[in-house]
Structure 1
Amino acid sequence: MYFGKADVNTFERGSSREFLLSNGKGGYAFSTVIGANTRNEHGLLVVSGEKSCVPTVYVSKVEETLFARNKKYQLSTNQYKDTVYPDGYRYIQEYEEDPLPTTLFVIYNIMLKKTVFMPKGLPCTVIKYELLTSQDRLQLEIRPLCAHREIGLTCDNVSFEADIAKQVLSVSGNGCQSHIYATRGEWTYKPLMFENLMYTRSESSINGKNMENLWSPGVLSFEIGEGEAVYVAISSEPMQLDESKLINMEAETIKWVKNKTKRAPTQNVLIASELIKSASNCIKELEDGGATAISGYPSLREFSRDAFISIPGLAKAYGDPIIGFKVLRTWLARAKECGYVMPSEMDGMNKKPKIAAADCGLWFIYAFSKLMDQAGNISAMESWWDDLKRLVDKYIEGIPELDLVCDNDGLLDIKTRNPERHWMNGVVDSKPVVERRGKLVEINALWYFVLREMERYCDFMEDENAKKYGDLADRVAESFPSVFWKKEGYLKDWVDGNESDDSIRCNQILAVSLPISPLDPERGRSVVETCWRELYTTYGLRTLDPHDDKYKGRSEGRQDQKQKARFRGMAWPWLLGQFISAFVKFNPDKKNIVQYFIKPFRAHLRRGCIGGIAENFDGSMPYLPHGDVVSILSVGEILRVIYEDLADL
C-alpha cells in the first residue's frame, strides 16, 4: 500500500488516511499517516488498563524537529482550533506499509525515513529514524506528548511528574507510567503544555470535548549521520532495551506481520492481504491461551455477534480454523457463566458479560459449523457436543432473559419491542429507530439452519435427539414461508400476530444466504432478485428500500438523524457478503460477476484506515463511510466471500 506526494500534500488528504498497528494483546498505535491525531482514540501507545478493559492512551504522539545547516524543520503536524501548526506534512514525499508503516521525509537533498512498529505481545511502540541521505550530520529533537487517560476522555486535569535515569525518561500521572528509551541522545527536562489540540473526528467522546491539552516532559536530542539509525521505544512497563534487542524486535515484527498474509489467496491477492492485516488487529490473545475479537476501531468493543459472523472469514484467511475455535471457546465460557445464554457483549468497564440480543447463540452455531467444515474433522465434535445441545435447547425451552419463546409453529417469537434483542438496535429519544417484535425473519432463518445442523451432528454422534431437532426443523420449514412470504416476491421483516412489517429490508437475505434455507428455490431466487434490485449499493446492502417513506440514506444532520440513518437506509458491507453468497447460490453461471461486487473495496482500502473496511456507508450518493474505520464484521465477511465464492475463479 503506497501513497505518493499527491496523496498527502494537503492536511485534508493526509489526515483522511489512518494507519493502525496492534501487538495482538489489546495494545495499539493508531493515527493518521501524517502524524496528526484527529480523534481522541488516536495514540502512539494505547494499552488496556489493569482496572478495566477500556484502553488507556499513554503517549499521544511525538513532535519531531530536524536541524540542518542552521535551519529548523518541524516534521510533525497538529490541528488547533484556528490553524494547522506545524505543517510537517509538506516534507512527506511518500508513505507505505511494506510491511511496516514507513514515512519518507525529503528536505532538499536530505532523506529521513521513519518506521513505526509494535512488537508482538509487548505494551510497546518503537519508532526507527534512519537517515538515508545527507551531506552533513544532522540533529533531531523528539518531544513526547503524554496523555495518561482512557479513550473517550481528555487529560486536561492530569498532574504529571517526570524522571530521567540511565537514558530512560519515565513519566508518571493519573496512576500510569510511560517509559521512553532511545539508543542515542540526551534528555533535557523542559516541560511544556500543548494546549487546545483539536480532534475533529472523535467517535467516542465521553466528556463531550473535542480539544485536549497534552503535557510534554522534555526533549530528546541526538545527532544522526547518513546510513545511521536511531530507535525510540515507548512502553507502559519498564523494559531492559538496547540497540541489538530493538533490531531483533524489528526483524521479529516484520516476520510476524508477513506470516499473517502468507496464506493469502491468489485471487484478489492485494485486497486479501491488506484485509488480513486489518483483521489481525481485531484478534486479541488472552493470558489463558484463548482469544477474543475486537469488533472494530475506534469503538474497541467486544460483541459476540460480530465475532461469530466474521470468524469464518478470518479463519479461512489465516488458513487455520484454530484461531476461530479459540474465540468460540472464550465466548462459550462466558455463556456458561450466564446459564448457557450467549452474552451479546462484554461490558468494557467491569469486564462482565451482558445479555441483550436473542440471536447471538444462533450465530455461535453458525460460526462453529463453518469452522468444522474448514477443519474437515467432525470427530472433534465430542468435546463441544454437550455444550452445543444446552445452548440450542435453551431456545427450545424459551429464554425469559431475552423475552423469547419457541412458538407452536416452531418459530422463535420475541415478546418485546426492546431493540436490544436484534442487531438493528438503534434508539432515539428512548424509542427504537426500527420497531421490530414477534417473529423476526433473520432470526428464524438462522434457527432453521441451526436445527438442521444439530440434526446432522446428532446423526454423527449417534445421539437420540436427532428426531427432536429434525421434527422441529420440519415444522419451521413449513411455517417459515407461510408466515413471512409476500406474494410480491420477498419476505416480511417481522410478524407479530396480525401485525407485520412489509417493508423491503435487508434481513431477509439470510433466508437464502445461509448454507441451508427454509425457502424453495423459486422463492429464494425472488428474494435475491428483490435485494439486488432494491437494496444493493456499491459497498453493501441498504437497510431499507429507498422508495420507503422512512428511508434515510445518508448519515448527516443532528446526532439523532445519524442514528436513524444507520438502520433506515445506510448500507452495510457484512450484508453484502451474505448477498454475494446468495447470488452465487442461485446464479452459479454468473460467478464472474462477483468480482465486480468486490472491486470497489480496492479504492476504499486507500481511504480511511488503510487496508480496512468501514462499518457502514451512506445508502445514497456519495456513499461515504461511517462508524468504525476498521470493522471486523465488514473485513471478515468480505474475506469469507473471497475465499468461499471467488475461490475457483
Structure 2
Amino acid sequence: MMRATASSGTVFVVLGETMPGPQHLQSIAKSHRIEHRPTLDLGPAICADDEASRRHEWLLTNGRGGYACGSIAGVLDRRYHAVLAAAVEPPDTRSVIVAKLDERLRAFWTRGRTRLTDRDPEDDPAFEDLTLSSDVWREGGLTGFGHRHLIRCRANDGTVEHQWLCGRTRISRRLVMPHGHDATIAEYRVEATDRPIRLAVKIVGGNRLADLLAPGASWAASTLEHDETTLRLRLPETEHGGSEIDVAVRIAGGSIAPGGDWYRGYHLDTETRRGYDDLDDHLLLGEATAELAEGDVLRIELAAGGDAGFDFRDRDPFAEEATRHRGLVELARAALHVEPPPVHETLVAAADRFVVNRPTADGEGKSIIAGYPWFADWGRDTMISIPGICLATGRAEIAREILTTFAGFVDCGMIPNRFPGLGRPPEYNTADAALLFIEAVGRTWVASGDEDASTADAFLRSLLPAIDEILDAHRAGTRHGIRIDPADGLLDQGETGLQLTWMDARIDGTVVTPRAGKAVELSALLHSAWRWRARFAAAFGEDGTAFTTAADQVQDSFDRFWLPDHGYLADVVDGPHGLDGSLRPNQLFATGCVHPPVTGDRAASVLETCDRVLRIPTGLRTLDPADARYQPRYEGDQATRDAAYHMGTSWPWLLGPFVRTHLRVHRDPDALHHVLSGIVDESSRRVLGGIAEVHSGDDPHRAGGCLSQAWSVGELLAALRLLIDHRRGVASDAFA
C-alpha cells in the first residue's frame, strides 16, 4: 500500500539542460518567501455543468513539444485531447498515445467492514458503482456524467488537479509531465472517506498523429513485459500516422492488467463545430486497480518512446516540477525588481510551456512552439514572442540560444516561416520573419547587456554575419519577390498565390488577405533593422553611416503611407491595384517597434484611430467593422474561419505594439490598466492559465484557434514588464 507522505524534495535533473537548472531554481525559490497561489481554480459551478465543463480546458507540456490537454469534464471533445501526446519527432510531430483515463469508483456504503474483500462486491448490494468519467458517443450522446461529481479543477506548480466528491468520499487526481520526458504521471489520492473503496482506471489510448482521427482502427499491441505493477507494450505502425513505439505503464499502490478491447464511436463535438471529421476509436491499453482507504495513493506512470524504459517510481515528479516552476516564477520576479500583479505567475507558467529543444546540425538548440496543441515552431511567432516569453521572465540566455538556433537556418537572407515536421525541410515563405529576427536580436542584446556586457557583445558578434546576410539579400532581392526598392528604400514583396505577411490565410489556394506590394509593417521593420545595424556598428567602433542613410530613406518614404483625410497609415502601397487604404492594425508596427518611423502627431492619430475602431477587450480587430469585407465571427468550418481569420477577427498579441505606441504617445502607464484588464481576465476563462490565439471581432468575442498561443502570452508579459519599468522610470529598448 502506498501512503501519502510529505514531499522528499527530490531534484529532477535533465541532462543537457541549458536553462537555469532545477538546483539553481530550487535555491532561488528557497531564498525568497514565495506566496504560492493556484494558477487557476475552478469550482463546481463550472466543473459540474454539462456544457461549461466541456468548454473549459487544461494544458500541460513537457519541453519537447509533447503535451497533455483535455476538457475539465474529461470528455474527448477534440482530436488533440490526450493525457499523453508524445513528441515522436521533437518538437513538432506529436502522436496521441494515451487519450484519456476512465475512472470508476466502487464504495461500500455500510460502515464497519475494513476491506473490500470481505465479500464479493459484485454480489453485495451495499456497494455502489460510480463513474468519475464522462464520454460523448456517436450513438447515445453524453454518458457517464462523472463530471457532476467534480467539485474542483485547478492548475498549480506545473500540475493539473481534479477533485471529485461522491457521498463522503473525496478523491483527487493530479497530473504532471516531467520536463524533458514523453511521460505523464497520474496520482490519485483518497482525501477523505468513511468507508473502503476500490478504484479502477482504464488507460484508453491509441497510436495516431495528433492531427488525424482513427475510426475503424483495428491493430493490436504486443506485450513486451507484464507483471503486477508493470505493463510494457509495443504499438505498431498505423495507417493513421502512428510509428512503431514502445509504451510503458507502471503502477505504485495498485496493480495493472492488460487490455485489448476497442472502444468505438467517440464523438468529438468541437471537431463537428469546426467542420472536420468527428469520430474516433481508441484501444484499451490496460486497467489499473487499487483498494484504497483514506490517505492512500494510486500512482500511474505513462511513458512512451525512449522514456518507456524510464522508471519514475523512485522519485517525486510532482515535487520536481513544483521546484522548477517556483524557480522560474521567482527568476521572473527578480527581473522586475518589484512585486508583480497576481496574473504574472499565471503568465510565467504559461510562457514556459512554449520553450522547447530543437535538433540542429550541431546538436540541439532552442525554439518556441507557436501554440498548443497543434502548431509547430514558426519563425515569425518565435521572434515576436521572445521579448515576453524569455526576456521579461529573466531568461535572456534562452533568447540567445533560440536566436542562435534560427541563425543556423538562415538561407538566402531568410529564416524559416515554419518547420513542418515529419522530416520535411523548413519553409521560407515569409517576408517578415528575418526582419523580426533582427528586432529580436537587438532587444536580446540590450537585455543581455543589462546583465553582462561581455556576454551581450559576444552574442551579437556571433550573429552579425546572419544579420548582414539578411540585409544584403533584401537589398539584392531574394525569394518570392522580396526586395528593397532602391527608389524609396521600402520593402516590396509578392508572388501569385503566396501569402508572405502574417495575414496568411488561404482558401483553396486563394489568398484571403492579399497584401502584395509594400506592406506597412514590413517597411517599418526594415527601418528598425537599419537603425539596429547602425547601433551595432557603433557598439563595435565601426562606421554605420550607410545603415543610417538607409534608415533615413525609409523614414522619409513613410510619407507615402500617410492618409491625411483619414488620420492613419495605408496598409499597402504600390500593390497590384495601387494603394490599399484598409484600416488594419499592421500600422502599429510603424509606431510600436523599437525604432519607429512614425512619431509625434501622426503616431497619436494612428493610436487614437486604432483604439477607437479596432481595439476590443481581448485584442485588436484585423479590419475596420465598417468595411464591407468585415467578418464579425470566428466560427464554422475551416473555409469560413479562414475567411474571418484576418478580416475582422481580433488577436491578443496585437496589444503589444498598441501598448508600446500608447506609452510613447501618452507616457502614462496607469492609463493602460483598462486596455489590459480584458485579456488578463481571458487568462482564466478558456484554458487553465493560457491565452487563446484569436477572438471573434463582435460580441461576445468568443475565443478560438489554439488553446494557448505563444505570442498572445508573450506580448502580454512584455507589456506588463514595460508598464512596470515605466513606473520605475527605467524603460529599456528590450521592451519599448
Whether these two folds match at TM > 0.5 is yes
* Matched position secondary structure for 1:532: helix
Which residue of 412, 415, 429 maps to 1:342? 415
- Distance in 2 between residues matched to 1:51 and 1:24, nearest whole Å: 9
Residue-by-residue CA offset, 1:323-376 (whole Å, 9 max, x unaligned) = 1111111111111xx243212111223242111011111000111111111112
- C-alpha change, 1:536 and 1:417, in structure 2 (3 Å) is farther
* Matched position secondary structure for 1:346: coil
Residue-by-residue CA offset, 1:384-432 (whole Å, 9 max, x unaligned) = 2222212222111211444434332111111435442111111224322
For the pair 1:534 / 2:613, whether they are aligned, the reply is: yes
Residue 433 of structure 1 corresponds to 512
For the pair 1:165 / 2:237, whether they are aligned, the reply is: no
CA contact (8 A) 1:313 1:637 kept: yes
For 1:170, the aligned partner's letter is: R
For the pair 1:234 / 2:302, whether they are aligned, the reply is: yes
- Distance in 1 between residues matched to 2:103 and 2:658, nearest whole Å: 48
- Distance in 2 between residues matched to 1:145 and 1:384, nearest whole Å: 47
For 2:350, the aligned partner's letter is: S
For the pair 1:636 / 2:696, whether they are aligned, the reply is: no
How far off is 1:151 after superposition?
0.8
Residue-by-residue CA offset, 1:47-95 (whole Å, 9 max, x unaligned) = 1214994201111111111111111111111112342111110111111
* Matched position secondary structure for 2:65: coil
For 1:392, the aligned partner's letter is: L
- Distance in 1 between residues matched to 2:272 and 2:474, nearest whole Å: 36
- Distance in 2 between residues matched to 1:210 and 1:508, nearest whole Å: 40
Residue-by-residue CA offset, 1:125-163 (whole Å, 9 max, x unaligned) = 000011111223321111111111101112332402253
Residue 579 of structure 1 corresponds to 658
- Distance in 1 between residues matched to 2:156 and 2:686, nearest whole Å: 18
Structure 1 residue runs without a partner (length 5+): none
Residue 322 of structure 1 corresponds to 397
For 1:276, the aligned partner's letter is: V
- Distance in 1 between residues matched to 2:701 and 2:63, nearest whole Å: 32
Which residue of 324, 328, 343 maps to 1:256? 324
Residue-by-residue CA offset, 1:183-238 (whole Å, 9 max, x unaligned) = 132333453221111112249999x4211111114422211111121210001033
Output the TM-score relative to the length of structure 1. 0.95
Structure 2 residue runs without a partner (length 5+): 1-39, 109-126, 238-243, 728-736
Aligned residues: 642
For the pair 1:271 / 2:271, whether they are aligned, the reply is: no
Which residue of 484, 499, 508 maps to 1:420? 499
Residue 163 of structure 2 corresponds to 104
Residue 284 of structure 1 corresponds to 356
For the pair 1:184 / 2:234, whether they are aligned, the reply is: no
- Distance in 2 between residues matched to 1:596 and 1:27, nearest whole Å: 36
Which residue of 66, 73, 85 maps to 2:130? 73
- Distance in 1 between residues matched to 2:718 and 2:49, nearest whole Å: 36
- Distance in 1 between residues matched to 2:326 and 2:489, nearest whole Å: 49
Within a 5 Å distance, the mapping from 1:133-532 to structure 2 comes to 133-155=192-214, 156-163=216-223, 164-166=225-227, 167-173=229-235, 174=237, 175-202=244-271, 208-236=276-304, 237-241=307-311, 243-245=313-315, 248-262=316-330, 263-264=332-333, 269-286=341-358, 288-335=363-410, 338-376=411-449, 377=453, 378-380=456-458, 381-464=460-543, 466-496=544-574, 499-532=578-611
For 2:62, the aligned partner's letter is: N
- C-alpha change, 1:448 and 1:203, in structure 2 (3 Å) is farther
How far off is 1:609 after superposition?
1.5
- C-alpha change, 1:131 and 1:390, in structure 2 (3 Å) is same
* Matched position secondary structure for 2:105: strand
Which residue of 76, 88, 102 maps to 1:49? 88
For 1:425, the aligned partner's letter is: D
- C-alpha change, 1:52 and 1:328, in structure 2 (3 Å) is closer
* Matched position secondary structure for 2:499: helix
Residue 79 of structure 2 corresponds to 40
- C-alpha change, 1:30 and 1:472, in structure 2 (3 Å) is same
Q: Which moved more, 1:225-234 or 1:403-412?
A: 403-412
- Distance in 2 between residues matched to 1:515 and 1:152, nearest whole Å: 38
For 1:356, the aligned partner's letter is: N
Residue-by-residue CA offset, 1:577-627 (whole Å, 9 max, x unaligned) = 111110111011x32121111111233122221111111111111111111
- C-alpha change, 1:435 and 1:242, in structure 2 (3 Å) is closer
For 2:441, the aligned partner's letter is: F
- Distance in 1 between residues matched to 2:185 and 2:218, nearest whole Å: 25
Residue 132 of structure 1 corresponds to 191
For 1:172, the aligned partner's letter is: R
How far off is 1:471 after superposition?
1.2
* Matched position secondary structure for 2:204: strand
Q: Which moved more, 1:176-185 or 1:619-628?
A: 176-185
* Matched position secondary structure for 2:587: helix
Within a 5 Å distance, the mapping from 1:568-647 to structure 2 comes to 568-588=647-667, 590-647=668-725
- Distance in 2 between residues matched to 1:546 and 1:501, nearest whole Å: 16
Say what the alpha-carbon RMSD is for the aligned residues.
2.1
CA contact (8 A) 1:162 1:217 kept: no
- C-alpha change, 1:300 and 1:67, in structure 2 (3 Å) is same
* Matched position secondary structure for 1:551: coil
- Distance in 2 between residues matched to 1:190 and 1:546, nearest whole Å: 55
* Matched position secondary structure for 2:325: helix
CA contact (8 A) 1:412 1:443 kept: yes
Q: Which moved more, 1:50-59 or 1:82-91?
A: 50-59
- C-alpha change, 1:126 and 1:242, in structure 2 (3 Å) is closer
- Distance in 1 between residues matched to 2:186 and 2:132, nearest whole Å: 14
CA contact (8 A) 2:221 2:260 kept: no
- Distance in 2 between residues matched to 1:118 and 1:51, nearest whole Å: 15
Residue 61 of structure 1 corresponds to 100
* Matched position secondary structure for 1:609: coil
How far off is 1:243 after superposition?
3.9
Identity %: 24
Residue-by-residue CA offset, 1:411-456 (whole Å, 9 max, x unaligned) = 1111435442111111224322122121111100111111011011
CA contact (8 A) 2:273 2:636 kept: no
Which residue of 126, 143, 151 maps to 1:85? 143
- C-alpha change, 1:340 and 1:87, in structure 2 (3 Å) is same
For 1:316, the aligned partner's letter is: L
CA contact (8 A) 1:295 1:306 kept: yes
How far off is 1:258 after superposition?
1.9
How far off is 1:285 after superposition?
2.1
- C-alpha change, 1:50 and 1:205, in structure 2 (3 Å) is farther
Q: Which moved more, 1:630-639 or 1:81-90?
A: 81-90
Output the TM-score relative to the length of structure 2. 0.84
- C-alpha change, 1:504 and 1:647, in structure 2 (3 Å) is same
- Distance in 1 between residues matched to 2:425 and 2:274, nearest whole Å: 22
Q: Which moved more, 1:224-233 or 1:190-199?
A: 190-199
How far off is 1:531 after superposition?
0.9
CA contact (8 A) 2:96 2:208 kept: yes
